[in-house]
Amino acid sequence: MSVANPLWGAPHIVGELRKIGIDLAKSTVEKYMGRRRKPPSLTWRAFLNNHVRDIVAIDFFVVSTVRNRILFVFLILAHERRRILHFNVTANPTAEWTAQQIVEAFPWDDAPRYLLRDRDGIYGAYFRRRVKNMGIEQVVIAARSPWQNPYIERLIGTIRRECLDHVIVFNDRHLKRVLSCYLTYYHRWRTHQSLDMDSPERRPVHSADGGRVTEVSEVGGLHHHYERAAA
């Protein structure tokens, strides 16, 4: 697994092994330990933990194309089970466009209670009014404090390390295809430490005697998942 998936760390491999009935300690497979970020304050952490089912987080990140055109990727992440509820790509983000993404993500009466975001100027008066009219309370993090929006910040880093750092993006349509492919893998197959080594869409655990282990290519061979196939 480590040879086929050089972007994976030890926890990721532990989670994948567990899904095919091989239960090993992380210390058995890890070679390097990454530095841990300074933990957030207990008060803020308690808020995130206590309202995990009611919070979605939003953020932008930028991607440069082969022609040095800058594209903006907008993400909406549900804290519960780290599900990506919506994403879109644009070259010209505006408050109106961003507000429309929230409407598209929650078209009926299923809007979340809290929307966690930073203080970017893109979330202007039009955006704030539109979100308020949907009955969503906006929780704005402190200036220059990305650690207060940790899950989506970590997600953006994961997307870069595991996908976009290894792809040359041609245009917005190509970027959407690449992200759609990766996010399918992310939801169905990628294991997460925060989910007790499960995927956002729950994966079954195969018993050790369930058959031969097969390797299935994902994201054009950039990643793989493993499962047991009965003989």
- Per-residue pLDDT averaged across 69-78, rounded? 98
Domain membership of residue 90 (yes or no) is yes
Q: How many domains does the chain have?
A: 1
Which range (2-16, 30-44, 148-162, 179-193) has the least confidence? 30-44
Contact 115, 136 (CB under 8 A): yes
Helices (H), the chain: 10-19, 26-29, 42-50, 95-105, 125-133, 150-162, 172-188
Domain membership of residue 27 (yes or no) is no
Domain membership of residue 190 (yes or no) is no
Q: Could you tell me the CATH number of the domain that includes residue 126?
A: 3.30.420.10
Of all helices (H) and strands (E), which one includes residue 106?
A: none
Tell me the pLDDT tens digit for each residue of 201-214.
999 999 988 899 99
Domain membership of residue 62 (yes or no) is yes
Tell me the pLDDT tens digit for each residue of 87-102.
999 999 999 999 999 9
The pLDDT value recorded for residue 24 is 85
- Bridge partners, 62 (sequence order): 72
Domain membership of residue 33 (yes or no) is no
Domain membership of residue 120 (yes or no) is yes
The pLDDT value recorded for residue 124 is 93
Tell me the pLDDT tens digit for each residue of 4-16.
777 788 888 889 8
Domain membership of residue 225 (yes or no) is no
**Domain coverage including residue 113:** 42-169
Residue bearing tokens 């990766």: 182
Is residue 42 pLDDT above 70, yes or no? no
Share of the chain above pLDDT 70, in %: 94
Is residue 37 pLDDT above 80, yes or no? no
Domain membership of residue 221 (yes or no) is no
- Per-residue pLDDT averaged across 113-127, rounded? 95
Q: Quick one: which of 71, 55, 168, 158 has its CA closest to 115?
A: 55
